[in-house]
Amino acid sequence: MKKKRIIGILLAAAAAVGILTACQETDDGGDVSSDNRGTSTTIHGGDNSGSAHPTGIPDDVRFEGRTFRFLTSPRSGDAYTECWLDYEDGVTDTINTAVYKRNSATEDRLGIKLETEHSATYYGAVSTIIDLNTAEEFYFDAAYLSAQSAGVASLDGHFLDLNTLKYVDFTHDWWDGNCHEMLSVGRKNFLMVSDISMSVFERAHFTYFNKQMLKDLGVTEDPYQLVRSGEWTFDKMYEMIKLASWENGDGTRDEKDKYGLFNLNIPAVLNSFDYSFTGKDEDDYPVLFELTDSLHQSFDKLRELALDKNLQYDPATMLDPSVDVSKAGHIWAWTRSTMFPNDQILFMYAGFMTTEEIKEMKSDYGIVPNAKKDADQKRYQSAIDFYADMLCVPSQNSDPEYTGAVLEYMAYASTDTVKHEYIETVLKNKRNRDDDTKEMIDIISKSLHYEISDIYDLGIRNIIVNGAENNTLQSQYDKFKIIYQNNIESMKEKVSKIG
C-alpha cells in the first residue's frame, strides 16, 4: 500500500502539469500522418538477434511482457530537457521517427514495453529518485537526469555502479569511452553517456565563426585548414578577434556594436587547452590540480580577453535593459540568435542546439572545435555541459540482468537510428552550411571532455571563476585548496562504502 501511495502521488503531480509522455518538437517543421513513419525496425544491417550478436546478449534472453520505465526531465522547452527517449504518434520528423524505430527494435528483441515519464520540474526528477530510495521503493528502472545533480546524489548511494549491470560492455562503440574513463570514481561509474541520447553531445562546447565577417575583415587564413593542420590555436583566434572590434559612434559599447567574441567561459576554454581541474591517483580517485606557470599564463590571457569590452561582448553588463529578449527566452539566447546572425559577432562559443537558433541566418557561418592552447597540444577538446542529462540507474533497482540487457541493446540500437539521424541528417544536412562542417562535427564528437570536479560538484571550478572575477587566482588556490582536498576525501569515503 505504501508503494502505491508514493507512486500515485508522484504520477498525479506529473499528470497535473501535463508532462507524462509529452509531445516531441519537430526539427523539420511539421506534423504528418503516422502512416508515413515506416515500420521497419532493422538496424545495424539487420542483425538484431542471435548468440553472435554484437551486444553479447544471447538469443534466448527475453523478458516477455515486462515494462521498462525511464524517468527524465520535463519537456518544457528548456535547453537541457530533451533526451529523445520516447516518441509522439503522428509526428514524422527525423528524430521522432528514429526514436520510434529504436524503441520498436528494442521492444521487439527483448519482448518488453518502454515507457518514459517526465518530471514536473527540471531538478524534480532527481528528487523523485531520492524520495523513492529513501522510502525503499522501486519504480523506475533507469533515469536520464541533470548530470551534476545526479552526480552529487550518487555519492549518497542513490545510484548503482553501472559496471555491475549484466551484459553492459563499455568497450562497445555505442558507449562513450571518454566518459567511462574520465568520470569513474574508485573504478565505479554512476553516470554514463551512450548513443541512446544526444543530450550531452548537443551541448558540447565549441566555436562558431561568421564567414562574412572574416571576409569583410580581410582574413585570409581559413579556420578549417588551421584545424586540419593542427595550427588552430588560441593565439591565431585571438589575432582574428582583435580585428573585429567596431563601435557605431555613439560612445557606448552595447548590442549595436560589433565584437570579436561572445560567451567566453574560462573554465571550459581551459579544458579545451587540455587542463583538467583534477587528476587521478592510483586508486582512481580525483586529486586536485597543480597551479602551474603554464596554467597561470593561459588564465591571464583569457581573463584579459573576458574583461575587454571592445573585444568580448557580455550581455549581462552591456545589453540595453530596454531590449525585449522575451521571444528568445533570455539574454544569452537573444545574443546568439540576434547579434551573431546580424554579423556583429565574429566568434561565438556555443553548442549544437544553437544551429536551430540561427537557422535563418543569411550570412554563412562555420563551426570548428575550440582552439588548442598551442600547436603542440595533441588533440582538440570540447568541454561538456554539466547540466545536460546523463544515464543513471536508481539504487533500488535489484535486477541487473534485465536493466543491463535493455540498456545495452537500446544503446546498440541507437547508433544507426537516433545518433545517425541526428548527426548525419539533422546536423550535417538540414543545419549544415558547408561540407567542411561535416568533418568538424566528427572531430568534435571524438573530443568530449568530462570534468569530474564539475559533475560531482567538488567546487574546484570556483578557484577559476572567483580568480577571474577578482584577479586572485593564486590566492584563491592557496586559500581554498584545503577545502577542496577535504571535498575529495569526503567523496572517497562515501564512494568506498557503496557496494
The per-residue pLDDT for 250 is: 85
Residue 298 lies in a domain: yes
The domain total for the chain is 2
Highest mean pLDDT among 40-54, 332-346, 424-438: 332-346
Residue of higher predicted confidence among 157 and 91: 157
pLDDT above 60: residue 11? no
Residue 265 lies in a domain: yes
Residue 448 lies in a domain: no
Pair 301, 234: CB distance under 8 Å: yes
Strands of the sheet with 66-72, listed across from one edge: 112-118, 66-72, 142-146, 389-392
What's the pLDDT band for 8 if we cut at 50, 70, 90? very low
Mark whether 336 and 476 lie in a shared domain. yes
Q: What is the pLDDT of residues 174-215, one digit of tens each?
A: 999 999 999 999 999 999 999 999 999 999 999 999 999 999
Mark whether 412 and 339 lie in a shared domain. no
Question: Residue 328: exposed, middle, or buried by beta-carbon count in 10 A (0-12, 13-18, 19+)?
Answer: middle
Residue 25 lies in a domain: yes
Q: What is the pTM of this model?
A: 0.87
Q: What is the pLDDT of residues 52-93, one digit of tens each?
A: 589 999 999 999 999 999 999 886 555 445 688 998 888 888
Pair 366, 433: CB distance under 8 Å: yes
Mark whether 413 and 284 lie in a shared domain. no
Residue 212 lies in a domain: yes
β-partners of residue 68 are: 114
C-alpha–C-alpha distance, residues 85 and 71, integer Å: 10
Mark whether 263 and 126 lie in a shared domain. no
Residue 301 lies in a domain: yes
Mark whether 267 and 355 lie in a shared domain. yes
Residue of higher predicted confidence among 43 and 41: 43
Side chain identity at residue 29, one-letter code: G
Q: What is the pLDDT of residues 392-429, one digit of tens each?
A: 999 999 999 999 999 999 999 999 999 999 999 999 98
Mark whether 159 and 221 lie in a shared domain. no
Mark whether 52 and 161 lie in a shared domain. yes
Give the CATH number, domain containing residue 313.
3.40.190.10
Pair 206, 445: CB distance under 8 Å: no
Residue with the three cell numbers 548590442: 255
Side chain identity at residue 357, one-letter code: E
Mark whether 136 and 173 lie in a shared domain. yes
Q: Cα angle at 481 between 475 and 486, to 5 degrees?
A: 160
Backbone angles phi and psi of 309, in degrees to 5: -75, -10
Residue 449 lies in a domain: no
C-alpha–C-alpha distance, residues 339 and 313, integer Å: 10
pLDDT above 50: residue 16? no
Residue 368 lies in a domain: yes
What's the pLDDT band for 30 if we cut at 50, 70, 90? very low
pLDDT above 90: residue 389? yes
Mark whether 274 and 405 lie in a shared domain. no
Mark whether 298 and 336 lie in a shared domain. yes
Q: Which domain holds residue 235?
A: 206-383+458-496
C-alpha–C-alpha distance, residues 269 and 206, integer Å: 9
Mark whether 190 and 293 lie in a shared domain. no
Q: Of 31-40, 182-191, 337-346, give the lowest mean pLDDT range.
A: 31-40
Last residue of a domain, one of 400, 420, 435: 435
Mark whether 192 and 301 lie in a shared domain. no
